[in-house]
Structure 1
Amino acid sequence: LVMKMESPPTVLPTLLSNQSVKGCVPVDNTVENMLFGLYYIIIFLLALNGNSLALWIFSRQRGTSSPANVFLMHLAVADLSYVIILPLRATYHLTGGHWPFGEVPCRVAGFLFYVNMYASLYFLACVAGDRYLAVVHAVSSLKVRQARFAHIASFALWALVIVSMAPLLVTQQTAEVDGSTVCLQLYREKASRRALVSLAVAFTPPFLATLCCYLLIVNSLRKGSRLEPALKLRALRTIGLVMIIYVVCFLPYHVSRATFILGYGHPDLSCQTQRGLALANRLTSSLTCLNGALDPLVYLFGAEKFRGTVQRLLCRDKSGGSAATSGELKGTHESSLSAKSEF
């Protein structure tokens, strides 16, 4: 996860000099900026409401929480930590690619971008590992699958990610380009081979761990398990949703960044190709923010208590707060809760 930052003032001139040799200049299309700005506003509203509700529900849970719920609660915190700066990113686009907030907010925006992305990757991997133990090693893993161990692992991951991204908070991250202030952490991250290694080290382990755990879970469910058919279907839906988040939100960004790093500075690269790589970098960077809006669906499928609370809230609204309906749902929920059904 360690991403050692080079001095940004040396990165941008190098990037611009490569473009100027061929007469290439960055193009900030007005329509693109408007679409990106609106996109970030929509994601901000969806992610803020969904994750705030999730954090409220998780914080009000009574009794012993499951490890999966602990990891999902920390995932909600990670999402909210980045959601709060999405309006700044929207403003950047709506003002035509100008960063009006100054140096410190630019550093914080880049720092929270990476913290959210890699914390989310690792917390989703932790959920996958917990689900693997619950399904494949249900009895033998009971001593390990405890909430306090999940909290210890979560705080260790927070420390690892924060320390790894801390250099972003102490290095210059803004530059003046053609009369506008540019935040280098918005689509102008450094393009060195060392950054390529950092991307591989940060993304590959949690992705492979999650993929392996879910393949083993699917294999176990296919061979037969004690889970009821409805719970098996719920488990498969959760697996599919998490893998969709990986494939849609995180995989394109890392593939695009690797391609950008390997090809952008190549002397034989055409102007059109350079601009295509830059646009792909923008698009895939924006997709990483989508995980904040999709993660509440993981809470809905992956946390029994979260799902039960949401169902009671919805039924209460429809029935005008009927206590009988709410109590009936609560009884049904509690009778169906088990160590292996928390998908």
Structure 2
Amino acid sequence: MKIQTTPTTDMDALTSILSNASSESSCAPVDNTVENMVFGGYYILVFLLALNGNALALWIFSRQRGTSSPANVFLLHLAVADLSYVIILPLRATYHLTGGHWPFGEIPCRVAGFLFYVNMYASLYFLACVAGDRYLAVVHAVRSLKIRRARYAHTISFSLWALVTVSMAPLLVTRQTAEVDGLTVCLQLYREKASRKALVSLAVAFTPPFLSTLSCYLLIIHSLRRGSRLEPQLKLRALRTIGLVMLIYVVCFLPYHASRATFILGYAHPDVSCQTRRGLSLANRVTSSLTCLNGGLDPLVYLFGAEKFRGTVRRLFFRDRAGGSGATSAGELKGTHESSVSAKSEF
């Protein structure tokens, strides 16, 4: 399956659309100073939050060699995906703080767009993998023990990296900057391509991981309500993790894909007014910025969803209570059923 099939052969057409839109007599120029300051500050804040959280997560998960569960493996790769995009957020911030001008040149623009899509869809698929692994751990605890192995999880993860990287590779070899009204615009920051083919690509990229994640979590909730053998505290942790992951989808991913689909369908339509076009563009930028928040929220998934990660964080930041907490945790997990043994490292 090819995740990103949006070619850049329409770059000249897109540049023309942007230029025409900005120069229409009915569209008076607007002052975007406040908007740019808000976006710039937002990206700096998300950068600091996501960099610290995911760097800590990567350090913790990398120290769990030989004892990692499949879920922890997927979360490790999720942290790598987040960091690969977090590092270019300062470029986005600079773009806005300089008034919508891209001063870094062509190659950094391509890399920024490439890492944006790699992060987004790698994150979606790794979250889907976590959901699938937890479905097996809760609903088919005993039967899934043979296939729920860390080495299999690594194989799946590297295959997903290859799929996403190959799908996004065209973004690295095609021109992505344009001169619009005297400013250099990096078209990859807020990719605005109005074509039906882009709409199909959007659906193919987003729908499979979203439906897979939603289905797995609905089945887990159904199993827990029917009386799963998980202990009550583990059930609560499972439900909290499910709720957090779905919140990430609702806040970070669903708005962007809905807004982008609307943009593709409406932006280039001849009957669309200048004001509507501006609204579509703003919605596209706002929802695109929300996807970056995924990197700041994912560490909460690690905290709620990985017992060893949670224990390490507790020891690092709450050393005075580490002994008591460790004893309580051991007592709570002692003597659980087979299904609890299978799932405790994930919840």
TM-score range, shorter chain: over 0.9
Distance in 1 separating the partners of 2:100 and 2:39:
11
Larger mean CA deviation between 108-117 and 221-230 belongs to 221-230
1:50 aligns with 2:50: no
Q: Which residue of 2 aligns with 1:138?
A: 141
Q: Which residue of 2 aligns with 1:76?
A: 79
1:5 aligns with 2:4: no
Q: CA deviation at 1:50?
A: 0.2
1:224 aligns with 2:227: yes
Letter in 2 for 1:282: R
1:256 aligns with 2:259: yes
Q: Secondary structure at the match of 2:185?
A: strand
**Aligned residue-pair number:** 336
1:189 aligns with 2:177: no
TM-score, normalisation: structure 2? 0.93
Q: CA deviation at 1:197?
A: 0.6
Q: Secondary structure at the match of 2:178?
A: strand
Distance in 2 separating the partners of 1:216 and 1:207:
14
Q: CA deviation at 1:236?
A: 0.5
Distance in 2 separating the partners of 1:154 and 1:331:
34
Residue by residue over 1:114-141, the C-alpha shift from the partner in whole angstroms, topping out at 9 and shown as x without a partner, is 0000000000000000000000000111
Q: CA deviation at 1:189?
A: 2.8
Distance in 2 separating the partners of 1:26 and 1:158:
42
Q: Which residue of 1 aligns with 2:338?
A: none
Q: Which residue of 2 aligns with 1:154?
A: 157
Letter in 2 for 1:3: T
Distance in 2 separating the partners of 1:15 and 1:89:
19
Q: 1:114 aligns with which of 108, 113, 117?
A: 117
Q: Which residue of 2 aligns with 1:315?
A: 318
Q: CA deviation at 1:79?
A: 0.1
Letter in 1 for 2:204: V
Can you give the 5+ residue segments of structure 1 that lack an aligned partner in the other structure? Answer: 320-324
1:205 aligns with 2:208: yes
Q: CA deviation at 1:39?
A: 0.3
Residue by residue over 1:197-249, the C-alpha shift from the partner in whole angstroms, topping out at 9 and shown as x without a partner, is 11000000000000000000000000101111111111000000000001110
User: 1:9–1:172: 8 Å Cα contact kept in structure 2?
Assistant: no
RMSD after superposition: 1.7
Q: CA deviation at 1:332?
A: 4.7
Letter in 1 for 2:241: T
Q: CA deviation at 1:328?
A: 5.1
Distance in 2 separating the partners of 1:174 and 1:103:
6
Q: Secondary structure at the match of 1:46?
A: helix
1:124 aligns with 2:127: yes
Percentage of pairs with the same residue: 78
Larger mean CA deviation between 21-30 and 70-79 belongs to 21-30
TM-score, normalisation: structure 1? 0.94
User: 1:192–1:261: 8 Å Cα contact kept in structure 2?
Assistant: yes
Can you give the 5+ residue segments of structure 2 that lack an aligned partner in the other structure? Answer: 335-340
User: 2:58–2:79: 8 Å Cα contact kept in structure 1?
Assistant: yes
Q: CA deviation at 1:166?
A: 0.3
Distance in 1 separating the partners of 2:50 and 2:159:
25
Q: CA deviation at 1:4?
A: 3.4
Q: 2:171 aligns with which of 164, 168, 173?
A: 168
